[in-house]
């Protein structure tokens, strides 16, 4: 019987050389590739499809952008998703990609699943957390064979795999609708200043135009409109990436702790994410109680760690989502964000659920009897006072 494997395919060098390797070194007859469209550039998908046409036995391209936004990015916004300062792009796309690859494998009757991740990064863990929910074999040729880029390039040439010229641009890039990640080459040195050429979504902040104020509308904790026009999530995020990118909003250069413990130097671009997370967090401060806010910050942090690890089938992840969802019904209203030379700052917000009351806070109003606060003030430092007194007595 023909032995089939389904490979998560990007069209890049690693996943391309995986195809002949799977046949030669793993004794498989049939390699089926799956390109999952989570919003990488159309050109990249087209190139990957052309390559697949040449070197794989069968290819599927699956557009999951709408599902990615609804089931992964929207929950992330509600959770203010952020791991050590990283807005979680690659991390939240991997489980969905893996699920689609697995679905194809089940339909095609394949006996194995494969990915092109190395043994150093997080992606192997995120893919396999999903892959291993099935009984299929899991193959990771890159991890098994410890290959160098030079070896891969030679091997690709021998096997008729087109190799783009990579010497001048050695960056390893991963892109989806929410964020773009750039690693590798000289960027691996933490004291190397990233050259402008690595950025594609964002203009250099100092070259940004005049300040611009945009208005985001939220319902149920997720963005639904831009400047008064209702939009689906994919269009809204795409549009905000363009607007924010023009202002140089959403660049991150950071040292990140990978799951295995390795520290990595990472560069990211994510204009829409910066704008939406800034606006969402601000709106939450208007409508949630301070106790909800302080508890939710801990929940959000826990959520972000699970999302970073790709553990989206972990029951705790669902429990946290249930808590988060129950807080988000009231997170509705509008937020005005000012974009200017790399910054996105909230300048106005309003909500029918605001807990803020200008009547109560205002100095001019007398509906609060200020004398009522006296009793609270008397007890406010109570324990500290007792402590000071006992100290004197010692
Ligand atoms: N460090 C990020 C993560 O683990 C992004 C990795 C993206 N990969 C890349 N080749 N640029 O989620």
- Distance of alpha carbon 14 from alpha carbon 22, whole angstroms: 12
How does residue 369 score in pLDDT terms, banded at 50, 70 and 90? confident
CA-proximal residue: ligand 1, atom 2 (nearest)? 90
Calculate mean pLDDT across residues 291-313. 98
pLDDT single digits (tens) 30-54: 999 999 999 999 999 999 999 999 9
- Distance of alpha carbon 105 from alpha carbon 28, whole angstroms: 14
Atom of ligand 1 nearest to the CA of 90: 12
Confidence check: pLDDT of 373 > 70 = yes
Q: Among 61-75, 323-337, 363-377, where is mean pLDDT lowest?
A: 363-377
Q: Give pLDDT, residue 24.
A: 95
Ramachandran bin of 182, using left for φ above 0, alpha for ψ from -120 to 50, beta for the remaining angles: beta
Cβ of residue 125 lying under 6 Å from some atom of ligand 1: no
Ramachandran bin of 155, using left for φ above 0, alpha for ψ from -120 to 50, beta for the remaining angles: alpha
Mean pLDDT of the chain: 95
Cβ of residue 176 lying under 6 Å from some atom of ligand 1: no
Q: Is the dihedral of CA 66, 133, 123, 77 positive or negative?
A: positive
How many other CB atoms are found less than 10 A from the CB of residue 117?
Answer: 22
Q: Give pLDDT, residue 363.
A: 62
Q: Which CATH architecture has domain 180-350?
A: Alpha-Beta Complex (3.90)
Cα separations (Å) of 23 from 109, 147, 153, 176? 17, 17, 18, 30
Q: Give pLDDT, residue 169.
A: 67
What per-residue string of b and e applies to 314-330 under the rule 16 or more CB within 10 Å gives b? eeebeebbeebeebbeb
Atom of ligand 1 nearest to the CA of 89: 12
Per CATH, the number for 4-175 is: 3.40.50.620
Q: Is the dihedral of CA 257, 258, 262, 267 positive or negative?
A: negative
Task: State which H helix or E strand residue 364 sits in.
Answer: none
How does residue 165 score in pLDDT terms, banded at 50, 70 and 90? low
Cβ of residue 62 lying under 6 Å from some atom of ligand 1: no
How does residue 295 score in pLDDT terms, banded at 50, 70 and 90? very high
Q: Whole-prediction pTM value? A: 0.95
Cβ of residue 266 lying under 6 Å from some atom of ligand 1: yes
Ligand 1 centroid to Cα of residue 353, in Å, is 38
Ligand 1 centroid to Cα of residue 139, in Å, is 20
Q: 180-350: same fold as 4-175?
A: no
Judge whether 172 counts as a catalytic residue: yes
Where along the chain do its domains lie? 4-175, 180-350
């Amino acid at each position: 019987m023909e032995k089939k494997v389904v490979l998560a395919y990007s069209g890049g060098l690693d996943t391309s050389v995986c195809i002949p390797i799977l046949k030669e070194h793993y004794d498989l007859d049939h390699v089926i590739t799956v390109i999952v469209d989570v919003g990488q550039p159309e050109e990249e998908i087209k190139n990957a499809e052309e390559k697949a046409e040449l070197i794989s036995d069968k290819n599927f391209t699956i557009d999951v952008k709408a599902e990615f936004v609804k089931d992964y990015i929207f929950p992330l916004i509600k959770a203010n998703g952020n791991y050590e300062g990283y807005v979680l792009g690659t991390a939240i796309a991997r489980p969905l990609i893996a699920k689609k690859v697995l679905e194809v494998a089940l339909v095609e009757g394949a006996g194995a699943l494969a990915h092109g991740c190395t043994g150093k990064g997080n992606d192997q863990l995120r893919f396999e957390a999903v892959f291993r929910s099935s009984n299929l074999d899991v193959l990771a040729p890159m991890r098994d064979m410890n290959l160098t880029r030079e070896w891969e390039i030679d091997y690709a040439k021998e096997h008729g795999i087109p190799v783009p010229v990579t010497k001048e641009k050695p960056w390893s890039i991963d892109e989806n609708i929410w964020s773009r990640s750039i690693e590798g080459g000289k960027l691996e040195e933490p004291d190397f200043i990233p050259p402008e050429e690595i950025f594609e979504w964002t203009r250099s902040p100092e070259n940004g135009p005049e300040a611009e104020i945009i208005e985001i509308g939220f319902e149920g904790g997720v963005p639904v409109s831009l400047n008064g026009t209702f939009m689906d999530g994919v269009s809204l995020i795409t549009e905000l990436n363009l607007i924010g990118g023009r202002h140089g909003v959403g660049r991150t250069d950071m040292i990140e702790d990978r799951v295995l413990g390795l520290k990595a130097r990472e560069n990211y671009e994510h204009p829409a994410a910066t704008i939406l997370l800034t606006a969402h967090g601000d709106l939450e401060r208007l409508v949630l109680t301070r106790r909800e806010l302080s508890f939710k910050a801990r929940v959000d942090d826990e959520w972000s760690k699970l999302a970073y690890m790709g553990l989206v089938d972990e029951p705790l992840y669902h429990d946290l989502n249930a808590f988060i969802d129950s807080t988000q019904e009231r997170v509705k209203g509008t937020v005005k964000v000012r974009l200017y030379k790399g910054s996105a700052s909230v300048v106005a917000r309003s909500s029918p659920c605001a807990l803020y009351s200008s009547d109560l806070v205002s100095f001019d109003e007398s509906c609060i009897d200020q004398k009522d606060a006296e009793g609270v003030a008397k007890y406010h430092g109570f324990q500290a006072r007792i402590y000071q007194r006992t100290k004197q007595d010692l």
